[in-house]
Chain A
Amino acid sequence: MSDSMTIHLRVWRQAGPESKGKFVNYTVADVNSHMSFLELLDVLNEQLIHAGDDPVEFDHDCREGICGACGVVIDGVAHGPQQRTAACQLHMRHYQDGDMLVLEPWRATAFPIIRDLVADRSALDRIVAAGGYVSVDTGSAPDANSILISKNESEGAFDFAACIGCGACVAACPNASASLFTGAKIAHLSGLPQGRPERKERAVAMVEQMQKEGFGDCSNHGECEAVCPKGISIAAIAIMRREYMKAKLA
């Protein structure tokens, strides 16, 4: 069950936003199949530190697929080969002795590289700040059960609300579009009565911010949905377009 493997890595190294990056090859021996992919990077980094080299920098935090901090393109696929799984929850049992993994950061004009595999995703926060909220001050809310929401509506909204803001959708998209991310938040909030009073302003503002940030447009490739660790459906993008058009035309 816990076989020992040797894994080869080809990792993007880049010292800073303005530096030229390049791929560097590494080998890690004694990889246990129960190890997570990020634990593999930890082991590599311990090796590098002991050898006097700079460790590979990568974003990570919860290591349980919910914070959205981690994000590595593994062999050309954002978050790696396992569907609906963030990089931190990919385990080495999916690989075999002698495999070579190519590791890259999220690549998009709107996501400048900070160092190695760490990208700057603050554009996503600016999209939310443009309108991804319900305007309600603390203390002014009515009793929670005064707004009845059918189970279907609630579950539907939840499915879109499950977005963890990792940016894999952007990384996978040939146009580097943030449509799935933006669409998910618009779909979540317009899918609930609480979000409807502001639905028009929200759709327009968030879409325009998304464009301002330098993301590409959506041309229906569907790569985003395929890599989303939370399985968000591209129906979110259809909803976003509908909300936007209704806002502009009404």
Chain B
Amino acid sequence: MAHPLSANVPDGRLQEKWDNYKNQIKLVNPANKRKHTVIVVGTGLAGGSAAATLAELGYNVNSFCIQDSPRRAHSIAAQGGINAAKNYPNDGDTVWRLFYDTIKGGDYRSREANVHRLAQISNEIIDQCVAQGVPFAREYGGHLDNRSFGGAQVSRTFYARGQTGQQLLLGAYQAMCRQISTGQIIMFERREMLDLVVIDGYARGIITRDLVTGKIERHIADAVLLCTGGYGNVYYLSTNAKNSNVTAAWRCHRKGAYFANPAFTQIHPTCIPVSGDYQSKLTLMSESLRNDGRVWVPKKVGDSRLPQDIPDDERDYYLERRYPSFGNLVPRDVASRNAKYACDEGRGVGETKLAVYLDFRESIDRLGKNKISERYGNLFEMYERITGENPYEVPMRIYPAVHYTMGGLWVDYELQSTIPGLFVLGEANFSDHGANRLGASALMQGLADGYFVIPYTLGNYIASTKLTDADTSHAAFVEAETAATEKLDRLLSIQGTKTVTEYHRDLGRIMWDNVGMSRTAEGLETAVGLISTLREEFWENVRIPGEKTHYNKNLEFAGRVADFLELGELMARDALMRNESAGGHFREEYQTEDGEAQRNDEDFAFVGAWEYTGQNQDPKVHQEYLDFENVQLTTRSYK
């Protein structure tokens, strides 16, 4: 199923491409929109905003989510903020600068046109959210407040204390609720998408499982929007929610949607460290904390004194030392690697020695406890609940953890995958963040895709495409339903001796050790072998309790882990193929003298889009070479 990779970027100057696109596209007549049904899978920022907006326009929308309510999508947990180029602080921001910071932050591995559009749209997003009643932080005079985030020298981040994701998601959820009340959106909660249905080469529907009754359902539409988030849970321990998974995207991949840059994963530098084997997930401490916190480790190796007993001149504020321009606000990949090096050198802190300090003493002295509490109150409380320590009195202990995935299904300028009619939005796609995502830009991308991009691009698709008449009795639906049912039955029949969680943990360890912050060809090859073996063992020895006809969390997780066991191998292969270091993908063989990532622009300035070629067959990579017409590729330096 070969697909020539064409990004379909419109002509014209970079700044005019999106307008040119909007001027040229076909539109769906307002009276005709109600003749079309669209499926939206996932109700996070991307899925929620898309569903609400498309319903407002008059399309019939069928929305699906795994949780009991659309408001529980993992976007809810994002803490720090959302970027936009409003330049309210008058400190030098422009659309161009936001575009440039994002492209540079992505280590020049993303598509210029997509990223510029993102920067252009950013301002409208803030307007929409405020209009919905999102309670952003305000200055005394009543205007919106801003703060800085990593990788930027301007204050362009809008926030709502430490729960910006929750408030933005509630805005989109509430907009969805308005459409649900009129019937324009039909909401299917507690449903999991088990497969995509393709008819005559076009994405026409999905197969879902009702997670309460176990019933398998067929849903048909004129287009499918996949808004199912990231695949960080392949590492088992990540900041993702427990339900976050790659299944919907992976099923699409197996049906022909290329998977791009899967090795580009982001490890967030400031998370609460692991405390034991039973650890079920890692908790993020927002990057916004690095506005006021200072990262340090003791200068001396093996210094096990309490932090309050280590005087300032015996502390190594290593980010401030190595990167004077950006200090503690270097991008995430840089901060994470430096934390790892500090611990590798034996200067880690805490019980496990796998942690560094994030210290607020100096800013509490400078600004007062009240000001710090106002900015980060809920984050400090969260830290104390989890660790039992009070960050107003002792420094936070933090360590890097898997957080976000820049890789995802390949999409063109219209957010369409290599399967016509399958659009991918938000973290589930690969498009805007290159090899590293800047803080506060995930929220921006999810809402940009859902509020302001897909309404145009989907309209163009629907107005330009004649679909064959079909209904859910079509052979493609029968086949997909049969395959999904067989997979469930097979999983339940194995009745081995090892639980799903045990397999998931094993996979996570292989991935963290070999496909984590620092990769080597040897480690990656080992990973491919280990994962393959683990996968075979899983299908022979997993033990799943209960039946498929009732609420059964283990059965759900089993299906997801089965797909992670395939994805993990693809990630290792992608990392092996990419013989350079870029952003979050660090190959030890390719680094500068002072340990920074060394890119190879001549040979690797491309998107690696992988094609599934069959069970147990080597996948095939296609290159989308990236043309940088507007930015000059430089070594990314934050010194």
Contacts and interface: CB of A to CB of B under 8 A. Distances in A.
Q: Do A and B interact?
A: yes
A118 B165 CA distance: 25
A62 interface: yes
Contacts of A36: 280, 386
A118 B556 CA distance: 15
B382 interface: yes
A122 B68 contact: yes
Contacts of B499: 46, 49-50
A133 to B, nearest CB: 4
A50 B144 CA distance: 54
B135 A157 contact: yes
A91 B88 CA distance: 42
B533 interface: no
A150 B142 contact: yes
A200 interface: no
Given A34-B275, A63-B241, A151-B142, A142 B160 contact: no
A170 interface: no
B132 A136 contact: yes
B52 A121 contact: no
B385 A138 contact: no
Contacts of B455: 138
Nearest to B170: A161
B188 to A, nearest CB: 12
Interface residues of B, number: 83
Contact of A145 (B53, B70, B124, B143): B143
B482 interface: no
A120 B68 contact: yes
Contact of A82 (B71, B140, B170, B385): B385
A115 B546 CA distance: 12
A42 B505 CA distance: 13
Contact of B174 (A55, A128, A144): A128
Interface in A1-28: 1-2, 15-16
A2 B72 contact: no
Interface in B381-404: 381-382, 385-388
Contacts of A62: 72, 74, 76-77, 241-242
Interface in B500-555: 501-502, 543, 545-546, 550-554
A192 B68 CA distance: 28
Interface stretch (A66-74, A97-105, A234-242): A66-74
A142 B166 contact: no
A138 B53 contact: yes
B5 interface: no
B241 A122 contact: no
Contacts of B502: 46
Interface string A35-65: 1101100110010111011110101111111
A219 interface: no
B587 interface: no
A67 B76 contact: yes
Given A32-B278, A149-B138, A149-B142, A64 B174 contact: no
Contacts of B367: none
A188 B138 CA distance: 15
Scoring A36, A122, A189 by chain B CB atoms within 10 A of each residue's CB, the highest score goes to A36
A49 B180 CA distance: 39
Interface string A72-90: 0000000000101100011
Interface in B141-169: 141-144, 160-161, 163, 165-167
Interface string A128-169: 111011111111111111011111001101100110110000
Nearest to A59: B68
A150 B127 contact: no
A69 B67 contact: yes
Nearest to B278: A39
B65 to A, nearest CB: 11
A61 B280 contact: no
Given A148-B141, A148-B143, A192-B133, A65 B276 contact: no
B17 interface: no
Given A39-B280, A66-B163, A32 B275 contact: yes
B8 interface: no
Given A84-B381, A89-B386, A118-B551, A138 B56 contact: yes
Given A2-B351, A53-B545, A61-B74, 18 more contacts: A52-B545, A61-B242, A63-B281, A64-B382, A65-B382, A67-B67, A128-B177, A129-B180, A132-B177, A138-B56, A141-B128, A144-B130, A148-B143, A151-B142, A154-B136, A154-B138, A155-B135, A161-B167
Interface of B: 49, 52-53, 56, 67-72, 74, 76-77, 86, 88, 124, 126-133, 135-144, 160-161, 163, 165-167, 170, 173-175, 177-178, 180-181, 187, 189, 212, 241-243, 275-276, 278-281, 283-284, 351, 381-382, 385-388, 451-452, 455, 499, 501-502, 543, 545-546, 550-554
20 contacts: A2-B351, A35-B275, A57-B553, A63-B241, A66-B77, A66-B166, A67-B72, A67-B74, A118-B551, A124-B69, A128-B173, A133-B132, A136-B132, A138-B52, A144-B86, A145-B143, A150-B140, A164-B166, A165-B71, A188-B133
